[in-house]
Amino acid sequence: MKVIIFLILFTGYIAYSIVVYTRGTDSTIIYENKEKEQINKGKLLFQQYNCTSCHQLYGLGGYLGPELTTAISDVQRGELYVRAFLKNGGNRMPNFHFTNEEVDALVSFLKSVDTTAITYKRH
């Protein structure tokens, strides 16, 4: 009996692992090449300017600035609000003098982060 229960649990575990490790989340969100390029450019800028030293994504990062994972879809913030900060900085947020193209790329990156934050959003 124990052996049967073990086998049932073990096959269940194996099947579950296969599903989890072979089915990524990539397939559910499909970007066109141009959009992909923008997102990657924004991600590089995010790394280059070390935004994580002050901001968190998915709860990881510095705590001087606010969490940015859902900044784009947040009803109290949103894209225009984010753009304003990227363009001008804030009281403590530095003004990095980004070009409009760089702001676009950062917004694309933050948007892509936002769309993956399904379980992270507060309703």
Binding-site size for ligand HEC (CB under 6 A) equals: 23
d(CA 123, CA 120): 9
* The only residue of 70, 85, 104, 120 in contact with ligand HEC, by rule CB under 6 A: 85
Q: 24: phi > 0 → left, psi -120 to 50 → alpha, else beta; which?
A: beta
Q: How far is the CB of 98 from ligand HEC (least distance, A)?
A: 7
* The only residue of 38, 39, 51, 108 in contact with ligand HEC, by rule CB under 6 A: 51
CB-based burial, 26-37: b 16+ in 10 Å, e otherwise = eeeeeeeeeeee
The token pair at 52 is 């994580």
- Binding window for ligand HEC (CB under 6 A); candidates: 4-12, 16-24, 33-41, 84-92: 84-92
Residue with tokens 């990539």: 26
Q: Does 96 bind ligand HEC (CB under 6 A)?
A: yes
* Residue ranges binding ligand HEC (CB under 6 A): 46, 49-51, 53-55, 64-66, 68, 71, 77, 82, 85-86, 90-94, 96, 106
